[in-house]
Amino acid sequence: MSWSRFELRGWHVLAALLAFFGAVIVVNATFIAFAVQSFPGEDVRRSYLQGLQYNETLAERRAQAALGWRANAELARSGGGAALEIRLSARDGAPINGAALTGELQWPTDARFDRALIFEQAGSGRYVARIDELPSGRWRLRARAERADGALDFESELTWLSR
């Protein structure tokens, strides 16, 4: 039995290069298609404008720090859903009543699961928002409390385990 000796020719090299780069292009195109299909959009709305207004944001944070308000958030079971309770207190620990609260629970990885919150005053500096259904996971609370004498923006990380 005799073996013929293989001779590498120019077209062999060309075919190998084209096959290699063709495979790289196919894989890249696949990854790009998956990335574009799964991207829900801009996470931070108007991020460019927020950057331009950063000095105003810093001034507002200094004013909030001088005000001395504090907020504590807690998720608890309520009926078939959940209740989010926020306690507002002044620097001396006195409850803050009469504030208007707005807020949102945000799912860190997908804005489609975010939930707007409607708060009701429950007395003694407590404000409660009821949530019908809440999937298990880690949630980010972003809220704002406003009253005639000041405002407080606050964030909190909350963990919820549904039954």
Question: Which CATH number does the domain housing residue 110 bear?
Answer: 2.60.40.1940
Q: Do 79 and 148 share a domain, yes or no?
A: yes
Examine residue 51 and state whether it is found in any structural domain, yes or no. no
Residue 55 counted as domain residue? no
**Assigned domain for 73 exists:** yes
User: 31 and 89 share a domain?
Assistant: no
DSSP string for residues in 18-77: HHHHHHHHHHHHHHHHHHHHH----SSTTHHHHHHTHHHHHHHHHHHHHHT-EEEEEEEE
Report pLDDT for 1.
Answer: 55
Q: Judge whether 127 and 117 are in contact, CB under 8 Å.
A: no
Range of the domain at 34: 9-39
**Overall pTM > 0.95:** no
Same domain, 32 and 96: no
Instruction: Please list the rounded mean pLDDT of every run of 10 residues in the chain (163 residues).
Output: 80 97 98 87 73 88 90 88 92 92 90 89 93 88 93 91 77
Question: Could you tell me which residues are beta bridge partners of residue 117?
Answer: 103
Residue 115 belongs to some domain of the structure: yes
CA 79 vs CA 11, 23, 126, 133: distances in Å: 73, 55, 19, 10
Element (H, E) at 15: helix 10-38
8 A C-beta contact, residue 147 and residue 99:
yes
Judgement on whether residues 75 and 151 belong to the same structural domain of the protein: yes
Whole-number pLDDT of residue 106:
92
- The reply to whether 82 falls in a domain is yes
pLDDT at residue 41 in the model: 67
| Tally of structural domains, the chain | 2
* Predicted local distance difference test score (pLDDT) of residue 43: 64
SS3 104: strand
Is there a single domain that holds both residue 34 and residue 114? no
Q: Residue 77 has what pLDDT?
A: 87
Q: Is 83 within a domain? A: yes
Residues 22 and 79 in one domain: no
- Quote the tokens at residue 115: 């939930």
pLDDT of the residue at 152: 92
Question: pLDDT by residue (tens digit) across 73-91?
Answer: 999 888 878 899 999 999 9
Q: Are residues 75 and 122 in the same domain?
A: yes
